[in-house]
Amino acid sequence: MSYQQYPLKSWNTFGVEAYADSITIVDSIDDILSDKCKNILTTNEPILFLGEGSNVLFLQDFHGHVLINRIKGVNITEKKDAWLLHVGAGENWQNLVKTTLDKGLAGLENLALIPGCVGSAPIQNIGAYGVDLAQVCEYVDVLCLTDFSQRRLYVNECFFGYRDSIFKSIYKENYVIIAVGLCLTKHWKPVLNYGKLYDLNPNTVTPIEIFKAVCTMRRSKIPDPKYIGNAGSFFKNPLITESFAVDLFKKYPDIPHYFNNYGKIILSAGALIERCALKGYKIGNAAVYDKQALVLVNTGGANGLDIVHLASFVRRRVAEKFHVWLEPEVCFISSQGKIDAVKVLL
């Protein structure tokens, strides 16, 4: 059997050349429940659901079937103290943020310009500039791919953590997210405790002003994947213990750090990489972005293994200097599906 049938280059923001046995776009739950998709899902061949491919790295051709989630729809219900949104998993996240702001709904502005679809947001518990999805999420709807039943998991059932959720464990296999429920309070308070947002006046700032400021900051650090292949932040910001922090800050007192929404001490992975003098460092056609060390880029023609080799080198250098082992935020895809990215980098 030939596995080089359907190109995946346009379906991953790294722009990596890879192929799949088939690619099928699903626009609705009924599409997934159609005979065509059921036949695909009930085979013993690997299945991969993708949104916009903004957080994946193909290491080789995928010897299975790719389903592109394009389940759309944004339904808004007004309550006394909040706006409730039911959003299809295939909606573009940035478009959703803009839609809510255009309608006068605040709460997502700090999460502006995060790439990908709404269905990917709960998996990573996406976050930026002091806000993460868990703070606005009400529920996540999933479809079981073995018996085709649907289930709603409320926020307390999602076990959200720092870039983590139940969708990376119990619901990692044989489930697909079909919709996300959000709750945007009418008692809005600006979150301005990060970067240049500190400069904004909390008494007069508007959600639109925060949105614009966040977009400006992100565009200054993360290249547009239309022109330079990347998946945004490649590594997670590492969590450290208080005892380790005491020793680390004695030696490096000016290392950027903060407490996240879960009370954990977080280091800036980008700052650690930059202090290893790795901005702009290249291995073949893979490079550390010269404007933001947390971003690895495909400068043109890099394959998945090129980027893996660069990531592994960066990870070792940071560990040698700071005794901190970075973990990838990007999901690694082998010929058979998702694999443990940390093990790949060992």
The answer to whether the CB of 141 falls within 8 A of the CB of 179 is yes
Going by C-alpha positions, the residue among 143, 144, 134, 126 that lies closest to residue 181 is 134
Can you give the three-state secondary structure of 203-271, one letter per residue?
CCCCHHHHHHHHHHHHHHHCCCCCCCEEEEECECCCEECHHHHHHHHHHCCCCCEEECCCCCEEECHHH
Distance CA 251, CA 100 (A): 45
Distance CA 256, CA 234 (A): 18
Distance CA 60, CA 57 (A): 9
DSSP 10: G
Q: Which residues are catalytic?
A: 163, 233, 329
